[in-house]
Amino acid sequence: MNGTLGVRTCDAVGIVVVASSPQAPGAIMSHPTTARRTAAHQWLALVVGVLYLAVGILGFFDTGFTGSTGFNEDDPSQTLWVFGINPLHNIVHVVVGGLGMVLWSRPRSARVFGWILVVGYGATAVYGFLVVDSSGANLLNINMADNWLHVGSVVVGLLIALWPRPAATEVPGHTEA
């Protein structure tokens, strides 16, 4: 292995690069790796994703795929618990939930999901407060309970996006030789 590199995995935690030094053939040098653990903001992104996906799917049991009067109807009697829904609203929840379930697994992508919640639900909250009493413009059948849930989603999105980054930790037992 004179001057060549080899790679081996280390306890499914990281990668250790092993190299033979040209000055000392046969000597093996290993470099510490950092452990990657799933951070709290990632778990929060997953939970939010699962919840939004479940709410979106459950909403279809109430509205069907076309609703009683249309795809984007504004029917105050059509609710899931206390939240106004319609098929278009359900699709939004399924998409947001799917994004959360796809993006949670890596720290950076979980933060992207947090920013998606902040921007998307921030805009939806503003829209909702403007159209809550306007049946013609309320395409998502948003009621006041939805508005406050959207504000809460913005707060949770900020938690996910701005959660403090953990300090890197070295894998025990791997030091330079």
Per the document, the length of the chain is: 177
pLDDT value at residue 155: 98
Rounded Cα–Cα distance for residues 89 and 52 (Å): 11
Tokens standing for residue 153: 């989603």
Closest CA to 96 of 123, 64, 72: 123
Q: What is the pLDDT along the chain (177 residues), one digit of tens a residue?
A: 444 444 444 444 444 444 444 555 555 555 454 556 889 999 999 999 999 999 999 998 888 877 555 666 666 777 788 888 888 899 999 999 999 999 999 999 999 999 999 999 999 999 999 998 777 788 888 899 999 999 999 999 999 999 988 766 655 665 544
The domain segmentation of the chain, as residue ranges, is 40-162
For the chain, the first-to-last Cα distance in angstroms comes to 17
